[in-house]
Structure 1
Amino acid sequence: MASATLGARAGVRVKSRTEIPRWVWALPPVAVLGLVFLYPLALVVQQSVTPDTGGTSLQPYADVFASSAFREALGTTVWLAVGATVGCLVLGFALALVIAFVPFPGGKAVAKFIDVFLSFPSFLITLALLFVYGSVGMANGLWTDVTGAATGPFQFLATPWGVLLAEITYFTPFVMRPLLAAFSQIETAQLEVASSLGARPARIVRQVILPEALPALAAGGSLVLVMCLNEFGIVLFTGAKGVTTLPMLVYGKAILESDYPGACVVAVVNVLISVGLYGVYKVVSRRARA
């Protein structure tokens, strides 16, 4: 019996000696991550401090920060992202409120369609808007057919307001999804009690539903803000003249001007802003789940 016990202990001892450390299992994914993501990012950072004249210098940063094109692109990016986020929060809250608390035929199908909509590429929504409101779209075509005018009145899609409309259209479901999940946790008994006490729908929304929805609104709004800052396809496909965001500026400097240090500087700035906002999004999401 004693020998069997000693043998078992020896087996355990041998097994512990041959066990592979946990950090070894982490090496393959870390190596892949470094090769696929960190190494290209390091090359971008390196190129941003390597002027065309050679050597290492912060002159590309000074040149980019001093240019009016960068300041205008930064301002355009911020106001489009903030405007789209506000629009998505307002529209998303209203639509989610109707879907969750106003019974209508097909409500569940609409809620499921939102999940599918999240997988659509952004340029697809932009193309749909072009077919409807473009210069030769359905709305302008119908107007010219009825009135005989040479052109239609809907020419806003190639302006900053068209970009804003496209971003709100595309990103609103990203706000609705967490809102619908939050609304599903609200007990209907609370709403019934508030209604039986004489509270009107507006007061119920303000005092009962909205407090429960604030964490989801904050999380969804933070995510939309990060995504809008990095949106490229919508701005490109709308063909909006004079609308240059930071991603568009990177494209212009790298492809059109062959100014790779300048393009990398703008890319680094864009990444830093996005990472900072993503950190805010993670904090807000963690508090929303708490």
Structure 2
Amino acid sequence: MSGLALEAVVTRPRRPAGRRTRGLWLLPPLAVVAVFFGYPLALVAGQSLTTDAGFGLGVWAEVLGSAEFRDAAWQTVLLALGATTGCVLLGTFLALIIAFVPVPGARTLSRLVDTVLAFPSFLIALAFTFLYGSAGVFGAGGFLYSPWGVLLAEVTFYTPFVMRPALAAFGQVPGVHLDVAASLGARPGRVLWRVVLPAALPSLASGACLTLLLALNEFGIVLFLGAKGVTTLPMLVYGKGIVTFDFPAASVVALVDVAISLLLYGSYRVLAGRGRGAAVDAA
């Protein structure tokens, strides 16, 4: 019996030493995430449950049932969806021109798109103030300080976030597919609708999800423009936390915004993974 046990110990496969140490290397980043993200989020969650009588869901019920929160959530969703729609249409159109139309300077324009991605959002708002402000070049102050001005600024700023994945996806479309479709008598519009756009759809969807995520959390453009009657969820957090010092209510709004952002980020990761898989299959 002891011999069989000894033989089993000897023949038992050993786990590679690399797997043991690999788990240890995960501890430092997990600790950093727990300290710099998990702990503050836990504090915010605890603050949202703080009431005059102790702990409870009274603040949640008060905030979620208020007309102020509903209006801010509605404006946030409308602006984000409008900006995403505009960015997808404009970004796809510009990417198609750069990728398939022999326009002089297309490569320079593509590099310029990468540069715009590094700009802060308030810079666009500042430029719009010089163009459309009350003392700007065009003097359309009423337009700038309305929801339409915020929407135009967000579309201008976030369009490159759709153009970049669209350009990458259009560059992965095999030229032989386009040649075969053209040889079969398909017109350019049909080739675009049946060949090019379906191949780029996962990348366009991931770019749209990323734009929607960023637009939902946009703060600099709305704050810098100071549009009248435009209150988004980030602005509501700022107003309750910084202006009125109502930290429990600000924490509730912030947690709702975080939950929406995490949901959209998960959708973006799924669509981005499908986009990479489609690019690999096409290659």
* TM-score interval (norm. to shorter): 0.7 to 0.9
1:254 counterpart residue number: 241
2:263 to 276, 279, 287: 276
Moved over 6 A (4+): none
- What is the DSSP-based 3-state SS (H/G/I as helix, E as strand, rest coil) of the residue aligned with 2:64? helix
In the alignment, the residues of structure 2 paired with residue 185 and residue 88 of structure 1 have an alpha-carbon distance, to the nearest angstrom, of 21
1:167 counterpart residue number: 154
* 2:28 equivalent to 1:41: no
In the alignment, the residues of structure 1 paired with residue 274 and residue 27 of structure 2 have an alpha-carbon distance, to the nearest angstrom, of 32
CA-atom RMSD in angstroms = 1.7
- What is the DSSP-based 3-state SS (H/G/I as helix, E as strand, rest coil) of the residue aligned with 1:253? helix
In the alignment, the residues of structure 1 paired with residue 21 and residue 162 of structure 2 have an alpha-carbon distance, to the nearest angstrom, of 42
**CA distances 1:51-95 after superposition (whole Å, capped 9, x unpaired):** 2x2511110001101110000000000111111111111011100
Q: CA deviation at 1:189?
A: 3.2
> Which letter does structure 2 place at the counterpart of 1:38?
G
Percent identity between matched residues is 56
In the alignment, the residues of structure 2 paired with residue 154 and residue 93 of structure 1 have an alpha-carbon distance, to the nearest angstrom, of 30
* 2:228 equivalent to 1:238: no
- From the superposition, tell whether residues 220 and 20 of structure 1 become closer, same or farther in structure 2 (CA, over 3 Å): closer
Q: CA deviation at 1:181?
A: 0.4
**CA distances 1:184-221 after superposition (whole Å, capped 9, x unpaired):** 11123332343344433222211121111111111100
1:266 counterpart residue number: 253
In the alignment, the residues of structure 2 paired with residue 187 and residue 168 of structure 1 have an alpha-carbon distance, to the nearest angstrom, of 30
In the alignment, the residues of structure 1 paired with residue 42 and residue 175 of structure 2 have an alpha-carbon distance, to the nearest angstrom, of 53
In the alignment, the residues of structure 2 paired with residue 221 and residue 101 of structure 1 have an alpha-carbon distance, to the nearest angstrom, of 21
In the alignment, the residues of structure 2 paired with residue 202 and residue 109 of structure 1 have an alpha-carbon distance, to the nearest angstrom, of 26
Q: Output the TM-score relative to the length of structure 2.
A: 0.88
**CA distances 1:84-125 after superposition (whole Å, capped 9, x unpaired):** 111111011100000000112111011111111111111111
2:107 counterpart residue number: 108
Q: CA deviation at 1:164?
A: 0.6
1:181 counterpart residue number: 168
Matched pairs, number? 261
In the alignment, the residues of structure 2 paired with residue 25 and residue 285 of structure 1 have an alpha-carbon distance, to the nearest angstrom, of 27
**CA distances 1:122-167 after superposition (whole Å, capped 9, x unpaired):** 1111111111111111112xxxxxxxxxxxx552110001111111
**CA distances 1:198-252 after superposition (whole Å, capped 9, x unpaired):** 4332222111211111111111001111111111001111110110000000000
- What is the DSSP-based 3-state SS (H/G/I as helix, E as strand, rest coil) of the residue aligned with 1:139? coil
1:22 counterpart residue number: 22
Which structure 2 segments of 5+ residues have no match? 1-15, 278-283
- What is the DSSP-based 3-state SS (H/G/I as helix, E as strand, rest coil) of the residue aligned with 1:69? helix
1:12 counterpart residue number: none
Alignment of 1:23-172 (within 5 A): 23-51=23-51, 53-140=52-139, 153=140, 155-172=142-159
In the alignment, the residues of structure 1 paired with residue 33 and residue 105 of structure 2 have an alpha-carbon distance, to the nearest angstrom, of 43
In the alignment, the residues of structure 2 paired with residue 200 and residue 165 of structure 1 have an alpha-carbon distance, to the nearest angstrom, of 34
> Which letter does structure 2 place at the counterpart of 1:97?
L
Q: Output the TM-score relative to the length of structure 1.
A: 0.86
- From the superposition, tell whether residues 189 and 21 of structure 1 become closer, same or farther in structure 2 (CA, over 3 Å): closer
Q: CA deviation at 1:28?
A: 1.9
In the alignment, the residues of structure 2 paired with residue 57 and residue 38 of structure 1 have an alpha-carbon distance, to the nearest angstrom, of 21
**CA distances 1:155-180 after superposition (whole Å, capped 9, x unpaired):** 21100011111111111100010110
In the alignment, the residues of structure 2 paired with residue 182 and residue 225 of structure 1 have an alpha-carbon distance, to the nearest angstrom, of 19
Q: CA deviation at 1:27?
A: 2.1
1:213 to 200, 208, 217: 200
Which structure 1 segments of 5+ residues have no match? 1-15, 141-152
In the alignment, the residues of structure 1 paired with residue 21 and residue 194 of structure 2 have an alpha-carbon distance, to the nearest angstrom, of 54
Greater Rg over alpha carbons, structure: 1
- What is the DSSP-based 3-state SS (H/G/I as helix, E as strand, rest coil) of the residue aligned with 2:203? helix
> Which letter does structure 1 place at the counterpart of 2:233?
L
In the alignment, the residues of structure 1 paired with residue 131 and residue 246 of structure 2 have an alpha-carbon distance, to the nearest angstrom, of 37
